[in-house]
Structure 1
Amino acid sequence: MWSEISYGVLLIATSFLTALAALYVVALRQGASRREARVIADMASEDTVFLFDGRHLVDATPKARGLLALGPQGVSDWNRLSALLTPRFPGFSTEMERLAETGIALLEGANGKEAVRAWWLGGIARIAVLDASPGPDNAITDHQTLSALNSELAILRKVAAHMPALTWQQDPEGKVTWANRAYLKLVGESRPEEDDLTWPLPRLFDTTRPTGMSDDLAPRRISITVPGGEVQWFDCIAIRQNDSAMFFALPADATVYAELSLRNFVQTLSKTFADLPTGLAIFNRSRHLVMFNPALIDLCMLDPAFLAARPTLFSFLDQLREKQMIPEPKNYKSWRQKMTTLEEEAANGVFEENWTLPTGQTYRVTGRPHPDGAVAFLFEDISSEISLTRRFRAELEMSQAVIDSMDEAIAVFSPAGILAISNDAYTDLWHSNPSETLGEIGIHDAVRLWREGAAPSGFWDQAQAFVGNPDEREELRATVTMADGRAVSCRLTTIAGGATLVGFSVAAHLPGEACKPAQHGVAG
């Protein structure tokens, strides 16, 4: 009986184990079927697949070749693919470089709706671009929408291709993930020894944040030296796009050279102004001092620190008043009004004054308008000039007093025949004061006056011919009779500089000597 029971238990156990084994086999087959179905499904969804042997494209699906055709022209297939996928899949270049070591790589797209799956298969890289969320809603796009998108995309590509500004995109690691045609052209010019561009593209400019600058995307001016030593300048601006940055570089060579030329011109002017004996002060539109030269400090005795602080025009004039470098007014109110007038006249270009200072110096102050509403003041020490003028005037007055004290009527004519000097005796004799006559008095006017005041005589023609004749070196003498009967001795003598001195001496009336003919004698 026990044997029967044992046999029954053994049969039950064997049946149970057989059932378990059958269930396990079924489960394995179902799991394999599901995995196979999943792999088949994955393979079916991989309609964009590339096979690369190194950087050489071995094969690709039709859709993959269509995608590759959208990449930049003139570069290798691998670089074209890198240019297309690097902006969409962060870390693509890094993962592809490590694919031979890792054997497999999976990258999720920046938009979260696509992915890249790559395998390393015995030296061949299999790269598939997948749509992570396929479905009828996003897989089917109406023809009109697709046509509009393609049209806009064509325009944007054309703009990017022909844009004169250099445009490129950098990932968080600073690698260039995309660039337009202008950037690629400059890469080729700056690296002519490289026949084929590699991806990521070379970074031409250092876009790292300068020390002390909080914003690494702040506008800046950058440069690059191309073969031959020529330096090209660009004004660079950038915008942030998630973790990447888009850079735009506009050619700035003309601006840089213009600024350099202006800077050199200003330096030349500054050196010239520094050597000028005339003080210069230029005030901008808001009437703040923007430029001055060392002569201004010396002439006006102002503190350089005060001038360097860019004082206003009225502060500048107040300081001059404190230093007694401006004529002292009777009252401050009238002085301020005068300074306001000074500013207005200088802005109109009509201000010019001589300032006689308490120190005895004399300054000529001139105001001139400058572009953009600025005004410049020139301070010139004319003390020596004024002193010389005063001394010369004193000598002239003394000389005039000397000839005025003479009994002989004197008239001096310039080489051009213009009356230059006469004395009181001349005025009394001919009843005409030349100093009260407007305009110049020529020898013709003087001879006409003499004819009217004297008896007819051929001497006047000789006198007119003598004046201004450089060949006449001998003295011309004659005696004429005035209208009142007085006899007058006349003499004409050439003096220094080609001038002619004419002298008239009134003599006692001598009957029979009404008019003696003109006589020539050696002038002495």
Structure 2
Amino acid sequence: MAQLGFLGVLGAVLTGTFCAVGMITFWIRTNRKSVATARTLMLGAEDTITFLFDDEILVDASPLARSLLEHRGANQTHWEAFLSLLSARFPELRSQLSDLADIGKKAIRPVDDHQSWLEAEYWNGLARIKLVQHEDHPDDTIDPLTANAIENELETLRSIGEASPQLIWKQDTQGVMTWANKSYIELSEFLFPVASDAALPWPPRAVFDNVARPSGHAPVIDMHCVNPDPQEKPIWFEVTSLRRGSETIHFAVDATAVVSAKDAQRDFVQTLTKTFAHLSVGLAIFDADRRLVLFNPALGDLSHLPADFLIARPTLFSFLDRLRDNRMMPEPKNYSSWRNHMAALESAAAQGSYQETWAVPNGQTFRVTGKPHPNGAIAFLLEDISDEVSLTRKFRSQIDLGYAVINNLEAAVCVFSPSGIMVMANTAYRSLWGTEMEGVINSRDFSEESANWQEATAPSPVWVKLHDAISLGRTEASWCGSVWLDSHIEISCQYNPLPDGNHQVTFTLAEKVDSASRVVETPEFEPQRSLSV
């Protein structure tokens, strides 16, 4: 039994060995076959532009062909570099080579060039692609100095594209990326990271979706955004797409600041719009051409102008004409003078000095203010002040009534403010003390009036008490005293404190003093002390 087990194991080992030897032999034969095929396909190709590919792997190339692939991108495969190199002349080369394995051999000619073409041949798993030029094709060789200048310029353009902070990339007719600069590749790697030990993909993952592919020569500009972090604001890019030959070149500029500014402006305009909508003051803004460009609902309510008329952007004079027709402004004496007045109104508003009160025929009163705005625009504010005017008139009437009542009193009455300024005096007061006043209210103060009193009367402690009450602010209860005019006429002087720190002084001839009034005995005469009045 042991011998049988040993023989079984030995048989398995020998079988495995024979299989391994067979596989190695098959691989060597296959490899030799591929090498032989490659040598056969590249015979006589030293002076031509010939590429030999195994799928997308470059197996061999002629010296001229290799020189054309020297400047391929760091992450670009030989196959992508080959397609990018010939895409300008053969824009649909990728799709035209997709069926080469099935056909075996084909010639690919460009649409607009009959002097050159591609000969593609597929044999034994290898694809040979050769650029053929017609015998009559002109000699394209140039002198070394010109070639050096062209190479330097090309290197400069390459460095500009690579170092540009803009995202720049190129697509062929089928939308496949054929080239991208460093900024685009870095953003793609940031948005779609790969493992540290994995090879970077080519072409890189697309940063933007549905990028425009213009059909004409005019550029197409649109906005795209990327969101690296869902918890942060997206990054906006302005993408400009240009068609150059059969390819499309895209430029993306960071426009986040511009978009944020537009959003802030839109929010600000919305805030202003809501604010204007709730204002009770009518607002009308006319541009430099004097057309209505902005108004709020209060303007229609106050002017009784229909909304369709305001929305139609009437001119300033049409707006004022309509107000006149609706009897919403003062009635002019004649139309020509009214037009001249309106022209003056426009000029004054543009200078920021226009303000008028309009008493319209229906009894309303408007305050109209004109203000200049940037770029030659002007704004008009229409405010209904009917209630304010009515209240002012009512107060004026009450004040006039009060003045009339005070002036009818036989007693001389004057009132001083908390700071000692005379704010009121009646006719009897002016007759008694000979005070010349231009009106009921004068700017004379207590010191001037007290000096006038003391000059016309005998010394009295009453003046000291008035000085303490009015000049020094020692407010106390009402009191009454007597002073002598011309040494033989007794005058009763009564002091009464008023609300808000005001003071009332009333002078009455002694024989006319009301016996019912409360009289404070005059203190005994003391030597008059000097008053700083």
User: Which TM-score applies when normalising by structure 2?
Assistant: 0.79
Q: 1:447 to 1:440 in 2, by over 3 A?
A: same
- Cα distance in structure 1, aligned partners of 2:45 and 2:136: 14
Q: 1:64 to 1:468 in 2, by over 3 A?
A: farther
- Cα distance in structure 1, aligned partners of 2:77 and 2:339: 79
Q: Does 1:124 align with 2:100?
A: no
Alignment of 1:77-226 (within 5 A): 77-108=78-109, 112=113, 114-132=116-134, 138-192=139-193, 196-199=200-203, 202=206, 204-208=208-212, 217=218, 219-226=220-227
- 2:508 is aligned with what amino acid? S
- Cα distance in structure 2, aligned partners of 1:343 and 1:204: 53
Tell me the equivalent position of 1:334.
337
Q: Secondary structure at the match of 1:78?
A: helix
CA contact (8 A) 1:282 1:375 kept: yes
Q: Does 1:312 align with 2:329?
A: no
CA contact (8 A) 1:480 1:516 kept: no
Query: How far is the alpha carbon of 1:387 from its aligned partner?
Result: 0.5
Q: Percent identity, please.
A: 37
Give 1:463's match in structure 2, choosing from 441, 461, 466: 466
- Cα distance in structure 2, aligned partners of 1:324 and 1:307: 17
- Cα distance in structure 2, aligned partners of 1:75 and 1:344: 69
Tell me the equivalent position of 1:296.
299
- Cα distance in structure 2, aligned partners of 1:155 and 1:350: 61
Q: Secondary structure at the match of 2:400?
A: helix
Q: 1:491 to 1:278 in 2, by over 3 A?
A: same
Query: How far is the alpha carbon of 1:420 from its aligned partner?
Result: 1.8
Alignment of 1:359-508 (within 5 A): 359-436=362-439, 440-467=443-470, 472-483=475-486, 486-507=489-510
- Cα distance in structure 1, aligned partners of 2:256 and 2:135: 50
Instruction: List per-residue Cα deviations over 1:86-126 (Å, max 9, x = no partner).
Output: 23421122123333333334434577355444333333333
- Cα distance in structure 1, aligned partners of 2:96 and 2:207: 20
CA contact (8 A) 2:47 2:62 kept: no
Query: How far is the alpha carbon of 1:469 from its aligned partner?
Result: 5.8
Q: 1:127 to 1:485 in 2, by over 3 A?
A: farther
Query: How far is the alpha carbon of 1:466 from its aligned partner?
Result: 0.1
Instruction: List per-residue Cα deviations over 1:115-154 (Å, max 9, x = no partner).
Output: 444333333333344555687x634311221122112212
Q: Secondary structure at the match of 2:76?
A: coil
- 1:327 is aligned with what amino acid? P
Tell me the equivalent position of 2:264.
261
- Cα distance in structure 2, aligned partners of 1:490 and 1:75: 112
CA contact (8 A) 2:46 2:63 kept: no
Q: Secondary structure at the match of 1:440?
A: coil
Q: 1:44 to 1:78 in 2, by over 3 A?
A: closer
CA contact (8 A) 1:87 1:177 kept: no
- Cα distance in structure 1, aligned partners of 2:436 and 2:265: 60
Q: 1:42 to 1:368 in 2, by over 3 A?
A: farther
Q: Secondary structure at the match of 2:415?
A: strand
Query: How far is the alpha carbon of 1:400 from its aligned partner?
Result: 0.7
- Cα distance in structure 2, aligned partners of 1:102 and 1:86: 22
Query: How far is the alpha carbon of 1:362 from its aligned partner?
Result: 0.5
- Cα distance in structure 2, aligned partners of 1:244 and 1:439: 91
Q: Which moved more, 1:277-286 or 1:433-442?
A: 433-442
- 2:201 is aligned with what amino acid? L
Tell me the equivalent position of 1:64.
65
Kindly report the root-mean-square deviation, in angstroms, between the aligned alpha carbons of the 2 structures.
3.3
User: Which TM-score applies when normalising by structure 1?
Assistant: 0.80
- 1:58 is aligned with what amino acid? V
- Cα distance in structure 2, aligned partners of 1:482 and 1:348: 61
- 1:269 is aligned with what amino acid? L
- 2:51 is aligned with what amino acid? F
CA contact (8 A) 1:88 1:109 kept: yes
Alignment of 1:341-352 (within 5 A): 341-352=344-355
Q: Which moved more, 1:251-260 or 1:370-379?
A: 251-260
Tell me the equivalent position of 1:357.
360
Query: How far is the alpha carbon of 1:345 from its aligned partner?
Result: 1.3
Tell me the equivalent position of 1:231.
234
CA contact (8 A) 2:220 2:242 kept: no
Q: Does 1:287 align with 2:290?
A: yes
CA contact (8 A) 2:194 2:200 kept: no
- Cα distance in structure 2, aligned partners of 1:261 and 1:128: 59
Q: 1:96 to 1:198 in 2, by over 3 A?
A: farther
Query: How far is the alpha carbon of 1:62 from its aligned partner?
Result: 4.1
Q: Secondary structure at the match of 1:249?
A: strand
Q: 1:518 to 1:410 in 2, by over 3 A?
A: farther
Q: Secondary structure at the match of 1:464?
A: helix
- Cα distance in structure 2, aligned partners of 1:185 and 1:134: 46
Q: Which moved more, 1:453-462 or 1:197-206?
A: 197-206
Q: Which moved more, 1:498-507 or 1:478-487?
A: 478-487
CA contact (8 A) 1:491 1:504 kept: yes
Instruction: List per-residue Cα deviations over 1:1-39 (Å, max 9, x = no partner).
Output: xxxxxxxxxxxxxxxxxxxxxxxxxxxxxxxxxxxxxx9
Query: How far is the alpha carbon of 1:437 from its aligned partner?
Result: 9.6
- Cα distance in structure 2, aligned partners of 1:245 and 1:442: 89
Structure 1, unaligned runs of 5 or more: 1-38, 520-524
Alignment of 1:50-61 (within 5 A): 50-61=51-62
- 2:151 is aligned with what amino acid? N
Q: Which moved more, 1:237-246 or 1:363-372?
A: 237-246
CA contact (8 A) 2:357 2:368 kept: yes
Q: Secondary structure at the match of 1:277?
A: coil
Q: Which moved more, 1:66-75 or 1:333-342?
A: 66-75
- Cα distance in structure 1, aligned partners of 2:298 and 2:376: 24
- Cα distance in structure 2, aligned partners of 1:62 and 1:291: 73
- Cα distance in structure 2, aligned partners of 1:373 and 1:130: 69
- Cα distance in structure 2, aligned partners of 1:180 and 1:492: 96
Q: Secondary structure at the match of 1:406?
A: coil
Q: 1:207 to 1:74 in 2, by over 3 A?
A: closer
Q: Secondary structure at the match of 1:410?
A: strand
CA contact (8 A) 1:476 1:518 kept: no
- Cα distance in structure 1, aligned partners of 2:159 and 2:442: 79
- Cα distance in structure 2, aligned partners of 1:261 and 1:455: 78
Q: How many residues align?
A: 472
CA contact (8 A) 1:221 1:233 kept: no
- Cα distance in structure 2, aligned partners of 1:439 and 1:205: 82
Q: Secondary structure at the match of 2:45?
A: helix
